[in-house]
Chains A and B, each alone.
Chain A
C-alpha cells in the first residue's frame, strides 16, 4: 500500500532509468536552477553527474574576490548616487556573475512575490535592504522571510504602514499579506482582513527604521481565522502560516517558477505536503523538487517561457558575454521586467504575458545586437564557442550551436534552414557564426527554457 503510494508520488525521485544524464539533461538542471549555462558548466555537470551538480547548486559556494569587490563597489555607488538605475546595475551584476545562481534566482522570485516598487518607496537604501533580505532567506526559511517582510521598511512604506493607526486601521498590508504573500484569494474573509489590520496597527516607520508605535497599536480583542485574542502582527503571520492554503500557495509559486506553468493538482498537493513537512525550509524542498519525476518529466522540459531576466542574463551567461550592466538592466525594463519596479503589488504576471508582438520584436532586436554588436557587452571570439562545442565542420557548427542554445536537438528542417543561412551569410567564419547566433537567439523556440 505504502509502496504503491510512493510510486504515484510525482515528487518521488526520478528512477535512474528515467533519469538520463545527457548534455540536455544537465543543461535543463543548470538553466532552471540558474540563469543560462555555459558550455564549460554543462561539460562539468555531465562529468560529475546529477547528485554532485545539484549539491553544488544548493550549498553555498565561495564567491571570487573579484566578484565581492566589484559587487561592493557597485552597491556603494548606488548608495552614493541614490540612483535606482545604479542599484539595478548592481543586481544585474550579481545575477550575471555570481557563483550562487540559485540564490539570486530565489531572490528574484521573492522580489516578484513580495513585489515592492521603488516608484512609491523612493529610497535606494530601503529597496537594497529589502533585496538583501530576499537573498539572506533565499534558500532559508519562508516563515522568517514572511515575518521579516511584515517589518520591512520598504514594504511598510509601499503598503501604507504609517497610515495604519489604532482608530483608523489601513487594510493595505493585511489584505496583501493574505491575498498575495501567503494564502491567495478565496482563503480568507473580508472580516479576517479587517481584524488583521488592527493587529498590525502601529507597525510604523520612523527615521527610516521599523518602529513599533505603541500609542497607535490596537490592543483590543481580534478574531482572525476563528482565533480570538489580543492578537498582534506576529500572531497573524503565524496564523497565516498555519492555514493549509499557505504551503499550497507557495507550492504553486515554486512549481510555476521552476517546473511547469500549469501544475496538476496532485503535484501541488504533494509539494505542499513537503513544504509543511520541511517546516517552510526552502533548501530541502527544492532538493526534492529538483530530483523529482515531475521536474524530469518530458512535459516539464522547455515548458517555461523565458522571463526577460532569463533571456538577457541567461543569454549573456551562456555565451560568456562581458556584460554592459547599465544597458542590460535597461533592456530588462524595456522587455517588461524592470527590476525594483514591478508593475503592481501582484508582481509580474509572467508566462505568456511576457510575450506580445512588441516584446517579440524587442527580443529579436536584443538577439541581433547581443550577437552582432557590443551595446550589451563584448562577446568572446565566436570561433571559441564552436571549438568548445567540439564543432569542426560546417554542419557540426550549425547543429551543435543550435542544440546548445535551444536545449534540444534541432529538427532536420531546422538544420536545413540554418545550414543554408550559414552558407549564405557571407563573410569569414566569425561573421557566419555571429549571424547564426543572431538567428537562433531570435527564434520563438529559444524563448522557451
Chain B
C-alpha cells in the first residue's frame, strides 16, 4: 500500500507526533515527501514501434521448419541469429539487447494481442493506445486514464510527457490532466523576441493570466486555454532541463537515440515526471523488408542500451522500466515482394534492472493460425495491468474496465 502524503500526515497526527510538536514542520514535510517517493518514484517509459513490427523476425522461432518454409526470401539464417535456446533466437541487430537479456534485465512477453485483431494501422493503434477494443472513437488513452484515476500523480505539473512527436499520442491523453508533448527539448522554449528577458517574462505572465480565464466546459476555448497553461508551465520545466545540460554518455545519432536521451535528461532533472512516451516509426515493411527491418532493430537496441547505460551512470536505472509495443505483428508467410503484410499477435519487450528477465509465455504455434496470422494467448491488457499495479502501483481495474490476470515479469 502506498503511503501518500496525506495519509502520512494523518497517521503522524493520530500517533500524536503532530500534537506533541516533536517534529519541526520542515522535517515533517520532508518525511512526508520521502514517504511519497518511496512508493512513487518509479518511472515507466513506453516505446511505440509504429507500423507493425515483424515479431517473427525479431524473436525468431528458428527451430521450427514452418518458419523457414514460410519465409524462403526473408528468414534469418540460423547461423546469424543470437540464440536464446534451441528454438528461439534474437535478430542479429539486437546485440545490445541480447547482452541485457543474458544479464537477466529483459523480459520477452510472447504471444501478446487481443480478440478479433484489427489489421488497420489506425484502428489497431487506437486499441493499443486506449486499451478499449470495443470503443470505436476513444477519447483518452490507458496512461491518461491511469493519471485520471491517480489523484496524487495528477497533482504534479508534468506527471507524464510525450517526447519526439508534434501531436500528443492518444495513450497519454486524459480527461483531467493535460499531458505535454515535446517534439524537441531545444525548441520547447518561449523565445523572448527582440525584447529583453524581463519584458518577455512580463508578457508571459499576462498571457498566463489571460489563459487562466474560465471557459465553457468541454469547449474548444477551454481546451485552448488549458493547453496554453500546460505549455507555459511545462516550458518552464524544460528550461530547467536545458539549463542542467546533457550527461556525457554518447547516444547513437538516431531518432530514437535522441528521444531517449531527452527522456533521460528529464528524468535526471527530477521534475516529478513518471510516465514517458516515445515512438519509433517505419515498421510497415511490405516490401524488401530485410534492410529496413535490420536498421530499425539496430536503432532500437542501440538506443535503449545507451539509455540504460546513461541511467546506470547516474544511479537512476533502478527507478526505470521500459516497455515496447507495436499495433500488430506481421503475417507468417512472406508476400510477393520480400516483405510481410499486416498480422496479429507479437511480443513485447520489458527492460530494466527490476525486471524478472527471461521468456514470458510460449511462442505462439506456427501451425495453428487464424487467417495466416499468429494467435495470441496473452491479452495486452494483462501486460498493462502488471505495469500499472506491480510497477506504478496504480489499481488497474478502474483503468482497464475489468480485471486481467497479471504476469510475473515484474514483482510488486
Contact = CB atoms under 8 A, between A and B. Distances in A.
- Do A and B assemble together? yes
Interface of A: 261, 302-303, 305, 336, 351-353, 355-362, 364-365, 368-369, 372-373, 411, 413-414, 417-418, 420-421, 424-426, 435, 438-439, 442-445, 447-448
Contact of A444 (B183, B203, B227): B227
Contacts of B188: 358, 361
B220 interface: yes
Contact of A352 (B181, B200, B210, B220): B220
B199 A448 contact: no
A439 B223 CA distance: 19
A250 B167 CA distance: 27
Contact of A439 (B178, B207, B225): B207
Contact of B199 (A305, A360, A425): A425
Contact of B221 (A356, A418, A445): A445
B220 A303 contact: yes
Nearest to B225: A444
B210 A417 contact: yes
Contact of A305 (B180, B192, B220, B225): B220
A442 B195 contact: no
Contacts of B187: 358, 361-362
Interface in B268-282: none
Contacts of A411: 213
A417 B227 contact: no
A435 B231 contact: no
B206 A421 contact: yes
Contacts of A305: 220, 224
Q: Which 10 pairs of residues, A with B, have the shortest CB-CB distance? A: A444-B224, A372-B193, A357-B180, A357-B231, A368-B193, A360-B231, A444-B228, A421-B206, A444-B225, A358-B183
A368 B193 CA distance: 6
A257 to B, nearest CB: 15
22 contacts: A305-B224, A336-B166, A336-B167, A356-B166, A356-B167, A357-B168, A357-B180, A357-B227, A357-B234, A358-B183, A360-B231, A368-B192, A368-B193, A373-B194, A413-B213, A417-B209, A417-B210, A426-B199, A439-B207, A443-B207, A444-B210, A448-B221
B66 to A, nearest CB: 28
A368 B191 contact: yes
A369 B191 contact: yes
Contacts of A302: 221
A447 B224 contact: yes
B220 A364 contact: no
A145 to B, nearest CB: 26
B340 to A, nearest CB: 19
B319 interface: no
Contacts of A448: 220-221, 224
A424 B202 contact: yes
Nearest to B224: A444
Given A361-B190, A439-B210, 11 more contacts: A303-B220, A351-B220, A356-B167, A356-B180, A358-B188, A360-B231, A368-B191, A369-B193, A420-B206, A442-B203, A443-B210
B182 interface: yes
A352 B223 contact: yes
Interface of B: 166-168, 178, 180-183, 187-195, 199-200, 202-203, 206-207, 209-211, 213, 220-221, 223-225, 227-228, 230-231, 234-235
Contacts of A447: 224
Given A373-B194, A417-B210, A355 B203 contact: no
Given A357-B234, A360-B227, A426-B199, A438 B166 contact: no
A232 to B, nearest CB: 27
B182 A445 contact: no
Contacts of A413: 213
Given A357-B182, A425-B199, A439 B231 contact: no
A426 B200 CA distance: 12
A197 B204 CA distance: 55
Nearest to A305: B220
A426 B231 CA distance: 26
Contact of B211 (A352, A361, A368, A444): A444
Contacts of A368: 190-193, 200, 203
B227 A355 contact: yes
Contacts of B223: 352, 355
Given A355-B227, A438-B203, A443 B211 contact: yes
A361 B206 contact: no
Contacts of B192: 368
Contacts of A362: 187
Contacts of B203: 368, 421, 435, 438-439, 442
Nearest to B158: A357
A364 B225 CA distance: 13
Given A357-B180, A358-B182, A421-B206, A364 B231 contact: yes
Contacts of A355: 223-224, 227
A356 B181 contact: yes
Given A305-B224, A369-B193, A417-B206, A359 B213 contact: no
Nearest to B182: A358
Nearest to A410: B210
B144 to A, nearest CB: 14
A361 B225 contact: no
Given A358-B183, A414-B210, A444 B167 contact: no
Given A360-B231, A369-B191, A373-B194, A435 B224 contact: no
Nearest to B122: A346
Given A417-B206, A445-B210, A365 B191 contact: yes
* Most chain A CB neighbours (cut-off 10 Å) among B180, B191, B195, B206: B206
Given A368-B191, A373-B193, A361 B235 contact: yes
* Most chain B CB neighbours (cut-off 10 Å) among A358, A359, A360: A358
B190 A364 contact: yes
Nearest to A304: B220
A308 to B, nearest CB: 11
B193 A358 contact: no
B207 A442 contact: yes
A336 B188 CA distance: 15
Nearest to A445: B221
Contacts of A438: 193, 203
Contacts of A435: 195, 199, 203
Nearest to B200: A368
Given A305-B220, A438-B193, A444-B221, A357 B167 contact: no
A211 B205 CA distance: 61
Contacts of A414: 210, 213
A302 B189 CA distance: 28
Contacts of B230: 357
A364 B190 CA distance: 7
Nearest to A411: B213
A442 to B, nearest CB: 5
Contacts of B207: 364, 439, 442-443
